[in-house]
């Protein structure tokens, strides 16, 4: 949409329409996941669609009643959390695979490690597919959708001003937070990453409402999300590998797990 079209109050889609489209995307990705839960991309894409809608709601928080916001945010948070452990295992398997590729050694029993990780993934996948888990997930999504559908927003000109100002505010706050960020402070790194995601989702989905700011904001947010994501993923992998090492009885397995854990540690130290 060009500026002239916006001056006439004619956006390509209303905010409510954008939110409904994001909810439809969740439903599509859920079907794709159910069709092939063995594919790590299906888990990832489903979580991203849920988090995208949640991010847009966070961005619009100042235009939503606290009661509605809390319901939507809580339900979408719980829905995404169902797949958190599965996604973490997928990332861990990917990183362990990269380590094995970079350190080829016939004497190292990589095969056994991957059989253990795959078994863990299989069990976690089954947990997400259980009837109780699916019923809870669908209820959470339905409750969120009901509240989203009831949201009322003012005219386009007013929304335009809000989105531009909010994008500007979040852009500069994120930039300052990243400049002061201590990579050893995992909770803060995680917090900055979440803020980057929110800005990126809003800059992408609400681009028509802030044409001059959206591309710049989206680029900054993506760069920070990628940088902090490397740290947070490595931190989670490190913790999982050490926890797994504590459970194995074979000394060779334990050494391999700790070696891969140390490799992950180097990414955020």
Which of 22-26, 80-84, 127-131, 245-249 is the least confident region? Answer: 245-249
Burial 119-153 (b: 16+ CB within 10 A, else e): ebbeebbeebeeeeeeeebeebbebbbebbeebee
Report the mean per-residue pLDDT for the chain: 91
Supply the pLDDT for residue 6. Answer: 41
- Are 52 and 22 in contact by the 8 Å Cβ rule? The answer is yes
Q: How far apart (Å, rounded) are the C-alpha atoms in residues 37 and 31?
A: 10
Supply the pLDDT for residue 12. Answer: 58
27-56 average pLDDT score: 98
For 40, residues 6+ apart whose C-beta sits below 8 A from its C-beta are 87, 90, 93, 94
Q: How far apart (Å, rounded) are the C-alpha atoms in residues 55 and 73?
A: 9
- Whole-model pTM: value is 0.89
- Are 13 and 21 in contact by the 8 Å Cβ rule? The answer is yes
For 230, residues 6+ apart whose C-beta sits below 8 A from its C-beta are 267, 268
Would the pLDDT of 169 be above 50? Answer: yes
Tally the domains of the chain.
1
- Are 196 and 225 in contact by the 8 Å Cβ rule? The answer is yes
- Residues 113-122 pLDDT 10s: 999 999 999 9
Supply the pLDDT for residue 11. Answer: 54
Would the pLDDT of 179 be above 50? Answer: yes
195-212 average pLDDT score: 93
DSSP tag of 64: S
Would the pLDDT of 268 be above 80? Answer: no
- Are 76 and 144 in contact by the 8 Å Cβ rule? The answer is yes
Q: How far apart (Å, rounded) are the C-alpha atoms in residues 109 and 96?
A: 12
Q: For the domain that residue 87 is a member of, what is the CATH number?
A: 1.40.20.10
Q: How far apart (Å, rounded) are the C-alpha atoms in residues 245 and 257?
A: 6
Supply the pLDDT for residue 265. Answer: 85
Structural domain of 47: 3-265
Higher pLDDT, 185 or 156: 185
Supply the pLDDT for residue 201. Answer: 97
For 127, residues 6+ apart whose C-beta sits below 8 A from its C-beta are 133
Would the pLDDT of 170 be above 70? Answer: yes
Supply the pLDDT for residue 149. Answer: 96
Higher pLDDT, 267 or 254: 254
Helix (H) or strand (E) holding 113: helix 110-129
Supply the pLDDT for residue 9. Answer: 44
């Amino acid at each position: 949409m060009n500026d002239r079209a916006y001056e006439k109050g004619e956006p390509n889609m209303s905010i409510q329409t954008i939110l409904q489209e994001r909810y439809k995307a969740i439903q599509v990705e859920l079907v794709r996941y159910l069709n092939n839960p063995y594919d790590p991309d299906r888990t990832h894409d489903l979580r991203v669609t849920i988090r995208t809608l949640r991010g847009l709601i966070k961005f619009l928080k100042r235009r939503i009643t606290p009661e509605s916001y809390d319901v939507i945010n809580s339900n979408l948070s719980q829905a995404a959390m169902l797949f958190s452990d599965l996604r973490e295992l997928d990332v861990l398997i990917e990183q362990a695979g990269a380590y094995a590729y970079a350190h080829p050694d016939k004497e190292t029993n990589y095969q056994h490690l991957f059989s253990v990780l795959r078994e863990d993934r299989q069990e976690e996948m089954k947990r997400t597919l259980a009837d109780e888990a699916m019923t809870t997930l669908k209820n959470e999504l339905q409750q969120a959708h009901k509240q989203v559908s009831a949201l009322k927003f003012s005219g386009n000109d007013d929304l335009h001003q809000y989105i531009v100002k909010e994008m500007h505010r979040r852009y500069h706050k994120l930039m300052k937070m990243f400049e002061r960020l201590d990579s050893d402070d995992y909770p803060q790194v995680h917090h900055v990453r979440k803020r980057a995601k929110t800005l990126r989702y809003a800059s992408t989905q609400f681009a028509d409402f802030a044409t001059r700011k959206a591309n710049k904001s989206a680029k900054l947010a993506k760069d920070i999300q990628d940088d902090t994501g490397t740290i947070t993923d490595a931190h989670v992998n490190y913790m999982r590998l050490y926890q797994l090492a504590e459970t194995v009885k074979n000394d060779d397995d334990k050494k391999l797990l700790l070696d891969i854990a140390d490799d992950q540690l180097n990414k955020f130290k």
